[in-house]
Structure 1
Amino acid sequence: MVAAKSAKSNIEPNSPTVTASQVPAKFPAWIRSKELSEANDEIASHLPDLSSADSDTLRALTKAWLKRELGFISNAEFSASGIGNQIFGDTLGLAGRQSELGIAAIRKSGIDLPIHFSRLCEAPLLKPEQEVILFRRMNFLFHQASVHRSLLNPNRPSRIRLELIEQLVALAEWHRDRIVEANLRLVFSIVKKFVNLNNTFDDLLSDGIVGLMRAVEKFDYDRGFRFSTYATQVVRRNSYRTVVTNQEDRQKTIGGLQDMEIEVAEEERSSAISEKRWHELRARLAVMLSDLDRREKFIIRARFALGSHRRVHTLQSLADRLGISKERVRQLERRAMEKMQQMAGDPQFAELS
């Protein structure tokens, strides 16, 4: 199974937007069901308006969808007649967000965290039956999007089919987000155990949320297990791997500096810096690298193919890996470079030239 990619189109949404009551009549009837009214209303402003799109735009969008990966857990029942009405016939009944749940999660963490973190934990836990309904609907919607995508033809682009695919994927991601929100407190409880001087809570939380989203994509609800059991193992393993990787990176950096051999001609030994001073400078170089936070070090090494990276990574690939925007990666890269430039200008590094 491949990881699901974001369903946001490269085409920016235009007004007017489509509300739940305006879902095209050519779409399957179950898309307009009462159970999907809230989701349809929330995604309406994010859907592109293709009503006035020309053939070139539709053709480009068709090619983009044919290249896009859709990851989901298939089920034999998804191909049954009338299954859409059945899947969206049950009542989900999600409870609203509760600010007191977020505040309680912050207090239980035992870590001094900004209050805005509490907003991540305001969604109530899911009941077992709600969990099954959400996973079933999410995978069914991705399955339907995949079926209609397979019918796309770049030479004869269909506006209605493209609009339907956009709607289906956006609805699937809406259900995915409800699962993620309801399990963020689980991520909090796991990653706080790995926090130390070299691994901050916000970095571990960022990695933990990425791990949680991957767990949602790979979880098979039809096996009868609770998602929290599976997600706990995934997030815990992801956090442990992050801590180990950070430790290995620090050891490689320090070890690499200590193992450097500098050839100095005999006639220059009298004017060269002392061995003690050289060791001090090597230590300062290690400090300069270690002063970057985990994400900054990762981005610098990935962008310049340093350390374990065998190729230069793009800003978008790093954004997908870190679970942040492409622009945020650019900002972190710029900040890291500025830090290193400032540290390199320290008078204590003068002898390096």
Structure 2
Amino acid sequence: MLRRLSLKTFPKPLSAREEKEYLERCNEGDQLARDVLIERNMRLVAHVVKKYQSPDYDIEDLLSVGTIGLIKAVNTFKVDKGSRLATYAAKCVENEILMLFRASKKLSKEVSLFEPIGVDKDGEAVSLVDIIEMENKETIDTMILKQDVKELYEAFDSCLSDTEKTVIRMRYGLFRGKEHTQREIAAQLGISRSYVSRIEKKALEKLKGEFQKHEN
């Protein structure tokens, strides 16, 4: 049985300013800065690992392999204007995991994404993974936000009653809807504003509890 992997158990990523500072120090040979860059990007490794969880591999093994990719990324990343380490590191982490799968011949479909399909303007081999990365560059903050939103909607569907879903959906404008005040919701549902407030509070407590379960 696979243990659930939570991104929230890892340190928060560095801000753009902090990342730039530590990268400059790392390029000057500062080992402490290098260690900080690795530690504060472990969330990225965990995010990539979540996409490749399989009964054939322990999470700890995938994290170890992914960490190797992160270390390689920190060691070889070249700072360019507007570039972020996370985009480059995500590719390096995936490369290491896909190489693991290639070695064991277990996930041939994913491995095929890594096969060269041409060359770029510098004569370097380009794979489907390279193209996907170029078309879908995301910082680690964006990836984590997407994961949190996904878990929010899963919790919304699984732990709320129909009335609670209606109140939360209207109150916070979920599913691209319009946000409503408690008074407006009460008028539409034919109940008191104070009752809407109690329903909202109870529903939020349920959602909070569901998120906390995911962190364990």
Q: Please state which band the TM-score falls in when normalised by the shorter chain.
A: 0.3 to 0.5
| Higher CA-based Rg | 1
